Structure 1
Amino acid sequence: MNNSLDQESSRVNFYIRNWLLGILFIISVVGLVALIAPPNTNDSMGYHMPRVMHWIQNQSVRHFPTNYTAQLFLSPWSTFTILHFQILSGSDRFANLVQWFAMIGSIIGVSLIAKQLGANRYGQAFTSVFCATIPMGILQGSSTQNDYTVAFWLVCLVYYILLSLQDETGKHYVLPIGVSLALATFAKPTAYLYSFPFLLWLFIVKVKLLRWQIYQPALQLAMLVFAVNGFHWVRNFQVFRNPLGTSPDYIIYTNRAFSIPIVISNIIKNLALDISTPVPSVNRLLLNVISGIHELIGADINDPRTSSSNFQLNSLINQEDLAGNAIHLLLIFTAIAILGLSWKKKNFNYSLLNYILCIIAGFIVFCMLLAWTPFHTRLHLSLFVLSSAFVGAVLSKQWSLKVVNLVATILLISSLFWLFFNETRPLVANSNLLKTGRVENLFIKSRTYWYFVGRPYFRESMIGATKFIKSQQCTDIGISFNKLDIYEYPLWVLLNADTDKKYRIQHVAVKNVSEVKQNLEPFKRFNPCIIFDSSGIIFEKIPEQKGNYEQKWFLSPVSVLVKTKN
């Protein structure tokens, strides 16, 4: 008997050791990519990194005039952290590490949550394997997106909520819960949606214990959240008359209609993004099935009130804006089914049931409020990270050790694709290998090349434009981008490279709510001698300047206008 227990323990230790080595390998490779590659996701080029550069230039995090208001109102925790790296290092070399550290913290954090949910040792280890191998997580872990940072703070929040719920001494963990909630909401607005069901669970349990005294910890939580977010809310209110800001008219962030069919439609379309395949013919088949379901429920699959674009399934599954998590989604549904089938057992774990119900509720709230976009899988990352603990706790209890090890092995092996063939930061190659037969990776192509991977048509024109600008005796540069195609950050990098000149860069021809900032210091004194324009309609925006600037350089889509001498 003792011999068989020793063998079982030895097998468990062997599996756990191998899993942890696999996790360490994943973390190491993602960290290597994060250090080698420049920040280059489209959102990072459009607003994450540009806002950092404007803050450094302005020596303030106050709002500024901009043609892209996402640079202002969106939660700034990740970019505040990048800001410190940028100032201390003098470059963006460490900008990707913010997400990488969040990835590591999440992998550790979900294992602790799994323990709170009743997982044993190898259940905790399997939880970490599940989290470490999430395709979207691997891709984002080396980027300057902010979905892993909010996932990390939500993991902290949920962990302390579970501690509070299970603490028999009456301890409420107000400080760590409040700080975690504050930093989660300060990292990304999706935290408001995903945290709400867990906070409601906490409130229901605590109100039974504290009765009317519940106001004390609730007030303390609110004060902590305001202490962290308050100044940003005030800055937003001053410009947008809304503490959370408002999206431009040409971007649909929130649903503009509500009904049961609409919610069901958004649930189906969001889930469908995670089962998208690299095979277009399979995606077309899935699209036909989903369209048929929409006909049955009487919903418009492309309802303009609830969709930012027509519904589509993307075959580019190795890109951090589009990648799905099909295997992980299947395991989540499997764990839910197993839990459902065991609910009549005497030792049924109601904490597990409440936990997964909170995750499902968060997803439903997400689908109720946010308009569908083809990029929503990156916003799902927090839900997959939190689901890791549920899957680990359920499957490690219900499946044999050999089956769990088989699943963990499949997850670890499949992760190699996303580790080495990241579309925007590949260690081996990306889709150009199939399209053109050319191998492109971080070791072959220059750092400058990878800044433009999201908008290759900007590469030649922006490099040429900055060379021309540097040849002029001008350091005050106005910029104007097409509102639907803002790719600003590489301009900052190119202008400030290999020069002793100190350039000031500011948006001009601003025609949105942030233009009120143009009348304030130091922005009102800005008088650009050169305008970098990719909008093509600069003089339609500022017709009074038509005689004051002449186009001196052009390569589509960029024009460089130089101020004429009076």
Structure 2
Amino acid sequence: MPTRLLLIRAGVVFGTAAVVLVELLSAVHLLHRATIWVVWIAAIALTAYFGRGFFAGIAGKLRTFWPGADRLERLIAVVLAGMFLTDLVIALMAPPNNFDSQTYHLPKVEHWVAQGDVGFYPTVIDRQLAMAPGAEYILLHLRLLTGGDALYNLVQLAAGVFGALVASRIAGQLGGNRRAQLIAALLFGTTPIVALEATSTQTDLVVAVWVGAVATLVLDERDRRTTWPAIALLGAAAGLVLLTKATGLLAAGPLLVWWFVLQLRRREWLRAVAGTGIVVAMMALIAGPYLWRVETTYRNPLGPDHLRDSISMQRHDPASVLINALRIGETALQTPAGPVAAGPIRALADAIGVDPDGRDITYWGATYPYTSWPPDEDRVSFPIQGVLILVGALLLAWRRSPARTYAALFWLAVLAYVVAVKWQPWGNRLIVFLILLGTPLAALWVDSLLGYRRRSVVRATVAVLTVGVVAGAAAVAVGFPRRLVGSGSVFTTSTMDERFIRRPEWQADYERSADAIKASGAQRIGLVQGYNSWEYPWWILFKGHDLVSLQSLQPDYPAPPVESVDAVVCIDPPIGCWFYIPQNWPQHKEGAVTYAIRPR
């Protein structure tokens, strides 16, 4: 079996096993460190025993690659390896410090560990419950195995490496030679948003690699009868997409429909219908328990109304979709010169009667345009890779080629995204799965340019690729909030300073409040927070203590009474701290934090 296919299948099996294990152990109240250790030791032993030949085969292929590669192929391999090795250094040295992880990605993991299951709990930050937890389930394994978050960033890094692997394989499946496959990996791995997210605890790379797995597995079935195990694997990959981030289904869905049509064309009626049932069953196995919890809590499997409405488009008329698409494209392709195309886009919106800042097509509270450069993991643009993807996808959709249908499906996924998802300042990271699907198309076109007889065309193509690589390297070197050089470098900044690098003004307030509460001997601490408050630092500062939320937006999960805690910390509350803290508890203020300790 081809090495890349075996790795991709192994990745899907691993993701499925990790998710199902969490749900099973949670259901029987055995989601504890000892249990996870036993399972992992057994899994590693079995992998080492049965995978000896496989690992030897990979080593052999790596040894034979270099002698048979030309100068450009070797250079691409060196650049890509250097990029991911640099990301590895940053991922190991920097603690998790992106904004969303402080608010909801990582606190949910701590709640799961504290209660021994992945059930819902009282909280005012309902994104901890309603946002899909696929990536966090994998983080939970690391948390239980290591007792901390030192390896958390490796999950996205692994997704970035696998994403490059998937992109290269798709390029080969579409007819690309070895050079085109390497270019696909290079384009994906050096895209600035990919390079920055590969050292974070965001979830966009994770969902992208699952979408890519669906794509490459579907492409395998174009000209053959799909076996039942292959169908189950397709369903597992789709289930992982759904459990990680539902927007990925905007691309995975059309790909699965294509597979269904291909089977019907082969007159495999029973296999197509029964296979669809298997795909749905696998998706239910993986994402069903979580979706059921969301449904029973919010009466909708997609979460509370306010969360859905803040992200999804409320207008779908052609004019609104056009303006949404133009804003998303401008933000993604923005150069260091800034949003120079925003003026004409706003003028066009006014001319066709669309408010470019309207709440029904724009994330609540956001205003278009938004500067997406210099490199920041939440917003960085990718003009070189983006243009190459769009042009390559357009040309290949027009020409008769093995990639024509795939290119059409790519454009269908793009259309589905701009119809369904509002423009938002950090929208560039939400389309990473489209980048992964599009880089093989860009690579095929770029490879054809490198084959031109005119040296000027070849030189221009190499120059463009070089600029794209430099942009990715710059993102790694000076990107925010983790960088190699400059102020805030991972080499010169302490771990705690790195954690607060986005809000350094809060660090002393958090630390002094935590020190005072710990000195009092308090063990159970109540949290009073706002919707965007940073909860995760409290879990770091109060490690070994019991933390509970004194607020809840979920009627089925009422918050515990304040009398049940020894102390209260209050930051950025929706109402004054006085509402939650008894009058006879003396309040102390440390900048943005108010805390109170139960009187003895």
1:86 aligns with 2:147: no
1:535/1:337 CA distance change after superposition, 3 Å: closer
- 1:535 is aligned, of 572, 575, 578, to 572
Give the drift of 1:331: 0.8
1:447 aligns with 2:495: yes
Give the drift of 1:251: 6.9
Aligned residue number for residue 38 of structure 1 = 95
Aligned residue number for residue 134 of structure 2 = 77
Aligned residue number for residue 522 of structure 2 = 474
SS of 1:506 mapped into structure 2: strand
- 2:537 is aligned, of 490, 494, 497, to 490
List per-residue Cα deviations over 1:385-442 (Å, max 9, x = no partner): 111111112331344274554443333233220111121011102xxxxxxxxx3311
Q: Give the distance between the partners of 2:246 and 2:394, measured in 1 at CA.
A: 31
List per-residue Cα deviations over 1:227-268 (Å, max 9, x = no partner): 111111111112111223225469712122221111111101
1:563 aligns with 2:563: no
Q: CA RMSD in A?
A: 2.3
List per-residue Cα deviations over 1:295-319 (Å, max 9, x = no partner): 2332111111121222122154311
TM-score scaled by length of structure 2: 0.83
Aligned residue number for residue 512 of structure 2 = 464
Q: Give the distance between the partners of 2:381 and 2:82, measured in 1 at CA.
A: 22
Aligned residue number for residue 347 of structure 2 = 292
List per-residue Cα deviations over 1:280-330 (Å, max 9, x = no partner): xx42x3221211121233211111112122212215431111101111111
SS of 1:560 mapped into structure 2: strand
Contact 1:75 1:189 in 2 (8 A): yes
Q: Give the distance between the partners of 1:136 and 1:442, measured in 2 at CA.
A: 19
1:537/1:377 CA distance change after superposition, 3 Å: closer
Letter in 1 for 2:504: P
Q: Aligned ranges for residues 102-251 of structure 1 at < 5 Å?
A: 102-167=159-224, 169=225, 171=227, 173-210=230-267, 212-213=269-270, 214-246=272-304, 248=306
Give the drift of 1:369: 1.6
- 1:378 is aligned, of 429, 441, 465, to 429
Letter in 1 for 2:297: V
Aligned residue number for residue 583 of structure 2 = 547
Contact 2:374 2:479 in 1 (8 A): no
Aligned residue number for residue 423 of structure 1 = 480
Q: Give the distance between the partners of 2:437 and 2:308, measured in 1 at CA.
A: 33
Q: Give the distance between the partners of 1:170 and 1:540, measured in 2 at CA.
A: 60
Give the drift of 1:550: 2.9
Q: Which moved more, 1:468-477 or 1:134-143?
A: 468-477
- Specify every segment of 5 or more residues in structure 2 that has no aligned partner in the other structure, as ranges: 1-65, 453-457
Q: Give the distance between the partners of 2:274 and 2:68, measured in 1 at CA.
A: 49
SS of 1:517 mapped into structure 2: coil
Give the drift of 1:337: 4.6
Contact 1:39 1:451 in 2 (8 A): yes
Q: Give the distance between the partners of 1:517 and 1:170, measured in 2 at CA.
A: 45
- Specify every segment of 5 or more residues in structure 1 that has no aligned partner in the other structure, as ranges: 1-8, 430-438, 497-501
1:517 aligns with 2:554: no
1:417/1:365 CA distance change after superposition, 3 Å: same
Give the drift of 1:212: 4.5
Contact 1:509 1:542 in 2 (8 A): no
Q: Give the distance between the partners of 2:67 and 2:307, measured in 1 at CA.
A: 61
List per-residue Cα deviations over 1:5-43 (Å, max 9, x = no partner): xxxx99961110111011000010011111000001101
SS of 1:379 mapped into structure 2: helix
Q: Higher relative contact order at CA 8 Å, sep ≥6: structure 1 or structure 2?
A: 1
SS of 1:56 mapped into structure 2: helix
1:246/1:12 CA distance change after superposition, 3 Å: same
Q: Give the distance between the partners of 2:578 and 2:435, measured in 1 at CA.
A: 44
1:362/1:548 CA distance change after superposition, 3 Å: farther
1:335 aligns with 2:386: no
SS of 1:324 mapped into structure 2: coil
1:302 aligns with 2:357: yes
Contact 2:134 2:243 in 1 (8 A): yes
Q: Give the distance between the partners of 2:431 and 2:359, measured in 1 at CA.
A: 22
1:331/1:313 CA distance change after superposition, 3 Å: same
Contact 2:550 2:562 in 1 (8 A): no
Q: Which moved more, 1:47-56 or 1:181-190?
A: 181-190
Contact 2:394 2:407 in 1 (8 A): no
Q: Give the distance between the partners of 2:260 and 2:330, measured in 1 at CA.
A: 33
Aligned residue number for residue 377 of structure 2 = 320
SS of 2:558 mapped into structure 1: helix
Contact 2:156 2:199 in 1 (8 A): yes
Contact 1:74 1:189 in 2 (8 A): no
**Percent of pairs identical after alignment?**
22
- 1:393 is aligned, of 444, 455, 461, to 444
Aligned residue number for residue 125 of structure 2 = 68
TM-score scaled by length of structure 1: 0.88
